């Protein structure tokens, strides 16, 4: 039986149950989810499914990430609510590709781990499968493993297995509706031009879940702890000197009273220029070299600073809990204009901790 897989939280429990119910059946996992956006989130979910399938001894195939085809299929349905018409098309597409793959590989039957998700409509999934089966002559296997305490059992397995728990269904449209309802920024869509990894970003989770697989391979015991903290995202910024935009780098947690200010440097103390407005501090690239080996503004622009280096600079200049704008420029100007659009917000971050050997 080919098992279409959506994520590890659904697949681990579903596959365990399938193995119990069909002990003689050869099961093959098939990760086909071009609906998942952004691509880093797709990689993260796939990574965790790979780990889960390995633990269960089930071979896994990866389908094509044909995101543009998926977008074409749901065109015009972007504003549909979850469980609406867009989800029907999304199920049709994923089940059709899974059924075709099952046929191609010579499997008699196929099913999907979406059936176990409490957030999905089983009726909608069955209707999609019936449509696919009529077209292709395939046989969909319907299983309800979520009734009779299944969902509670699934939550227990998720915790025990330390599976990656995503907090949105997968597509950009569902995500934007969810974040709008929660009145929080859609930070999943923010990716800096620098290659640095932002706190609580998908990239950070991807690095962490990759690292945990390495620890598991080495037999090192670890735990994942959750931490509440103040996060920050810079949305847009520029600095103008003599009416011309100049290369600038804005340190995290920089906020202006309003988004824009005209300022002049009043004094320079130990390499830090103190402006007359909005507690702005300006440092030059030479000052930055006290902390990192960086050639020029362009190099800084594309490389970025590590988050903890930025925090160290901020602490050294302005102390703990500072939200003053701290700007790096080639040289400290006399007068300048500055625009910073940024948000600070409460967030939760996961961290990997290696357990004490004797604990």
Shortest reach from residue 212's CB to ligand SF4, in Å:
26
Residues 146-175 that bind ligand SF4 (CB under 6 A): 169-171, 173-174
Residues 54-113 that bind ligand SF4 (CB under 6 A): 82, 86-87, 90
**CA-atom Rg of the chain in angstroms:** 25
Residue 164 and residue 167: Cα distance in Å, rounded? 10
Shortest reach from residue 42's CB to ligand SF4, in Å:
11
Shortest reach from residue 119's CB to ligand SF4, in Å:
8
Cβ burial of 183 (10 Å; 0-12, 13-18, 19+) is exposed
Residue 129 DSSP SS3: helix
For ligand SF4, which is the closer residue by CB, 169 or 340?
A: 169
Shortest reach from residue 97's CB to ligand SF4, in Å:
13
Shortest reach from residue 2's CB to ligand SF4, in Å:
20
For ligand SF4, which is the closer residue by CB, 176 or 344?
A: 176
Exposure string of 38-52, with b = 16+ CB inside 10 Å and e = fewer, is: bebbbbbbbbbbbbb
Residues 174-193 that bind ligand SF4 (CB under 6 A): 174
Shortest reach from residue 173's CB to ligand SF4, in Å:
6
Contact in structure between 183 and 52 (CB atoms under 8 Å): no
Exposure string of 259-283, with b = 16+ CB inside 10 Å and e = fewer, is: eebebebeeeeeebbbbeebbbbbb
Instruction: Find the farthest-apart pair of alpha carbons in the chain and give their distance in angstroms, rounded.
Output: 79
Cβ burial of 242 (10 Å; 0-12, 13-18, 19+) is exposed
| 9 touching ligand SF4, by CB under 6 A | no
CB atoms inside a 10 Å sphere around CB 217: 8
Total site size for ligand SF4, rule CB under 6 A: 10
Using CB under 6 A, which of 11, 35, 201, 248 touches ligand SF4? Answer: 35
For ligand SF4, which is the closer residue by CB, 81 or 286?
A: 81
For ligand SF4, which is the closer residue by CB, 169 or 329?
A: 169
Q: Which residues bind ligand SF4 (CB under 6 A)?
A: 35, 82, 86-87, 90, 169-171, 173-174
């Amino acid at each position: 039986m080919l098992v279409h897989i959506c994520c590890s939280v659904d697949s681990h429990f579903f596959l365990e149950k399938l193995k119990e119910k069909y002990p003689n059946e050869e099961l093959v996992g098939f990760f086909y989810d071009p609906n998942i956006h952004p691509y880093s989130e797709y990689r993260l979910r796939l990574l965790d499914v790979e780990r889960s399938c390995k633990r269960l001894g089930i071979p896994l195939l990866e389908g094509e990430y044909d995101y543009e085809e998926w977008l074409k299929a749901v065109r015009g349905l972007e504003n549909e609510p979850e469980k609406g018409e867009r989800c029907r098309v999304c199920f049709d597409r994923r089940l059709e590709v899974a059924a075709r793959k099952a046929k191609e590989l010579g499997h008699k039957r196929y099913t999907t781990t979406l059936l176990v998700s409490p957030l999905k409509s089983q009726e909608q999934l069955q209707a999609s499968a019936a449509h696919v089966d009529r077209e292709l002559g395939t046989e969909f296997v319907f299983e309800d493993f979520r009734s009779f305490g299944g969902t509670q059992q699934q939550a227990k397995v998720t915790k025990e297995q330390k599976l990656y728990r995503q907090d949105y269904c997968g597509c950009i449209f569902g995500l934007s509706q969810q974040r709008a309802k929660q009145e929080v920024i859609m930070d999943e869509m923010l990716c800096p031009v620098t290659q640095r990894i932002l706190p609580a970003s998908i990239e950070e989770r991807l690095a962490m879940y990759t690292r945990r697989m390495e620890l598991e391979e080495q037999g090192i015991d670890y735990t994942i702890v959750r931490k509440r903290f103040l996060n920050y995202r810079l949305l847009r910024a520029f600095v103008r000197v003599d009416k011309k935009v100049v290369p600038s780098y804005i340190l995290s947690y920089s906020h202006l009273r309003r988004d824009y200010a005209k300022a002049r440097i009043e004094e320079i103390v130990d390499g830090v220029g103190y402006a007359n407005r909005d507690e702005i501090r300006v440092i030059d690239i030479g000052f930055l070299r006290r902390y990192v080996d960086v050639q020029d503004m362009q190099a800084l622009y594309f490389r970025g600073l590590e988050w903890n280096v930025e925090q160290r600079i901020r602490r050294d200049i302005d102390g703990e809990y500072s939200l003053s704008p701290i700007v790096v420029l080639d040289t400290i100007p006399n007068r300048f204009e500055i625009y910073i659009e940024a948000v600070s917000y409460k967030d939760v971050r996961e961290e990997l901790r290696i357990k004490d050997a004797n604990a």
